[in-house]
A = this chain, B = another copy of it.
Amino acid sequence: MLQPGVWGVVATPFTGSTFDVDEQSLARLVEHYERAGVTGLTVLGVFGEAAQLSSEERRTVLETVADATRLPLVVGATSLGTAPVVEEVRLAQEVAGDRLAGAMVQVNSANPHVLAGHLRAVHEATGAGLVVQDYPLVSGVAIGADALAAALRGLEFVVAVKAEAPPTPVAVATLTAALDVPVFGGLGGLGLLDELACGAAGAMTGFSFPEGLIACVGAWREGGYDAAREAWLPYLPLVNFEQQARVALAIRKECLRQRGLFLESGVRPPAASLPESLHEQLKRHLTAVR
């Protein structure tokens, strides 16, 4: 099972007009995450722009992260089909070795039986523990929490679920009641307080201030709602700002740049770049959080 806590989702920094992978900035981000005290890292997820990377670049990103930290790693698979997912998981195993805490696989069917078959096939081909990501906005598949629970029941190789189908707190409650598997919230922390209240094991997301996620999750464990709320409040305006549809990635990367972690904040097209109209407010939010 995946350890509870905060799993930092690693963004991929690029450099220059050709958007080459910037390995130095990537290592800097990873080291920052480790210093901040995350439980582990999630690499090649949606916010790592994995769908925009060639297989060679994916390997580079994985190697850079694996070299820069000793933290356990969750590695995402971009494809929805069984065979290409197996291929992606094997690359993760090859590079991460026993540091691979789980391969993250997306829900690829609304039919519990079909989904279970997919997960079983990936596991049997690779032996990897699987983190199941339910993110309909990206996968295009809407399964519902009850059907997801039905699909995962009895799959002992599932080591965690990443619940990103709103309303996520309700999904977390359903999944944790039905399964003995840790469930993590994502979506930039938008519903973190409520996901924790509904039984989430923590957060697995890429908010630009992982310190906030860690403070909130830690406070929840020790002081419950009131403590978590107090720890989380200062970050919440930035969370909402960052988690805006279509521009979330561009905002986050610019925040990481202004924090000194990334050299540049470009996102690969066709993703949207940062709208001019958000620049000033981004600075205000950062000033307030620092």
Interface residues of A (CB under 8 A from B): 49, 51-57, 79-84, 86-87, 108-109, 111, 114-115, 117-118, 140, 166-170, 173-174, 190-191, 193-194, 197-198, 225-226, 229, 232-234, 236-237, 240-241, 244-247, 268-270, 275, 277-278, 280-281, 284, 288
Contact = CB atoms under 8 A, between A and B. Distances in A.
A281 B220 CA distance: 13
Task: Quickly give the copy total for this chain.
Answer: 4
22 contacts: A51-B80, A51-B84, A52-B84, A54-B84, A57-B83, A80-B270, A81-B268, A83-B268, A109-B269, A166-B244, A166-B246, A167-B244, A167-B246, A167-B275, A169-B244, A191-B241, A194-B244, A198-B281, A225-B284, A233-B234, A233-B236, A236-B236
A30 B80 CA distance: 27
Nearest to A284: B225
Given A83-B52, A118-B270, A270-B108, A237 B229 contact: yes
Centre residue among A111, A118, A193 by max chain B CB count within 10 A: A193
A270 B82 CA distance: 9
B51 A244 contact: no
A288 B236 contact: no
Nearest to A165: B245
Closest 10 CB pairs of A and B: A173-B277, A109-B270, A52-B81, A166-B245, A167-B244, A54-B83, A197-B281, A54-B87, A236-B236, A225-B284
A-side binding surface: helix, strand, loop or mixed?
helix
B169 A277 contact: yes
B170 A275 contact: yes
B82 A52 contact: yes
Contact of A236 (B52, B57, B237, B280): B237
A280 B277 CA distance: 39
Contacts of A55: 55, 84, 87
Given A169-B278, A170-B278, A225-B288, 6 more contacts: A51-B80, A52-B81, A115-B270, A170-B275, A173-B278, A233-B236
A268 B237 contact: no
A280 to B, nearest CB: 7
A269 B80 CA distance: 10
A79 B244 CA distance: 25
Nearest to A88: B54
